[in-house]
Structure formats: C-alpha cells, structure tokens
C-alpha cells in the first residue's frame, strides 16, 4: 500500500514543484530591473548637413563620455568606403572629423576620464553608403588600449549625398 501511495504522490509532488519554480521565475523576471547596455547603434533622420554633424557628434560624445583619459585625442578624417579617389576624405568626412575633434577633446578635458597608459588616444571614422542610408562607424582607442565604437545609420538626403561625394 505504501508503494502505491509513493507512485501517486511522487508525480504530483514533482508537478507541484515544477509549477512553483516556473511561477517564481516569471515573477522574478517581472520585478527585475533590466541592466541597460550602452547604445552603440542609432538611426537618425537629419534635415540638413549641419544637423547631421551635430547629431553624430552629440551621440559620439555621450558614447565615449568618460572613456578617454585627460590627454589629447587625435581624430583622423573619416574615409568613405567605395570611393575611387583613394584615401582622400570627402567634404563630409573632413567636416565630421573637424567637429569631432573639438567636441571629444572638450568633453574629455572637462570629464577627466580615468584611462591611463602609453597608447596614443584616437578616433577614426568610416563612411559608407548603403541602400539610401549613410552608415557612420566611429572607433576609438583610449590611453589604456581599450577600444569602443559608435555606429550611426542616417537616412540620406540630397545635401548629405553631395557632401559625401564632394572633395575639398
């Protein structure tokens, strides 16, 4: 008789235990606060070239905030993939690099990032035209040799297209 009770009780006990664990897991996920990962890819629809430059620089400033040490950050002119002019930056690549130099260096000096080491801090950028969008990939390395990147996908407009295909 005891053996028959075990055969009935054991499956019921396991089912009840499984249900309790499942309900507890659902409640835990409902009340848990999700950890926010830093956003590295954004999508923008700027109205003109000036708005594009400001938007990209502001996004990069927030992404790299506190990343660099207090030394100067070197920014190379952004190159455009697929251009036949070699390694010459376009008007857009030169403008973005120029503005990025001012924005990132001013932010770094005011925030006094903690990165220290012997590596030269720098930012590089690549521009790429993809199906009516402009993809801007900005990569940085800090004094400790750590790397971070920021990517912006921008809806292409006529002024942005012209700046992407014009050489200074």
For residue 44, what are the β-bridge partners?
154
Which residues have CB under 8 Å from 14's CB, separation 6+? none
Task: Compute the C-alpha angle 153/54/95, nearest 5°.
Answer: 85
pTM for the full predicted model: 0.68
> Could you read off the pLDDT of 92-135 as tens digits, one per residue?
999 999 999 988 888 766 666 667 777 888 999 999 988 888 99
> Could you read off the pLDDT of 154-167 as tens digits, one per residue?
888 888 888 888 88
């Amino acid at each position: 008789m005891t053996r028959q009770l075990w055969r009935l009780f054991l499956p019921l006990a396991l089912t009840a235990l499984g249900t309790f664990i499942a309900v507890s897991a659902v409640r835990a996920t409902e009340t848990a606060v999700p950890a926010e990962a830093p956003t590295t890819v954004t999508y923008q629809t700027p109205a003109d070239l000036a708005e594009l430059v400001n938007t990209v620089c502001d996004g990069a400033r927030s992404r790299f905030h506190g990343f660099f040490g207090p030394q100067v950050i070197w920014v190379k002119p952004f190159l455009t993939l697929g251009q036949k002019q070699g390694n010459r930056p376009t008007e857009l690549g030169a403008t973005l690099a120029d503005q990025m130099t001012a924005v990132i260096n001013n932010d770094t000096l005011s925030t006094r990032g903690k990165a220290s080491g012997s590596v030269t801090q720098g930012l590089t950028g690549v521009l790429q035209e993809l199906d009516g969008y402009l993809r801007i990939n900005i990569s940085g390395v800090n004094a400790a040799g750590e790397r971070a990147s920021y990517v912006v996908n921008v809806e292409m407009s006529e002024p942005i297209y012209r700046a992407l295909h014009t050489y200074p």
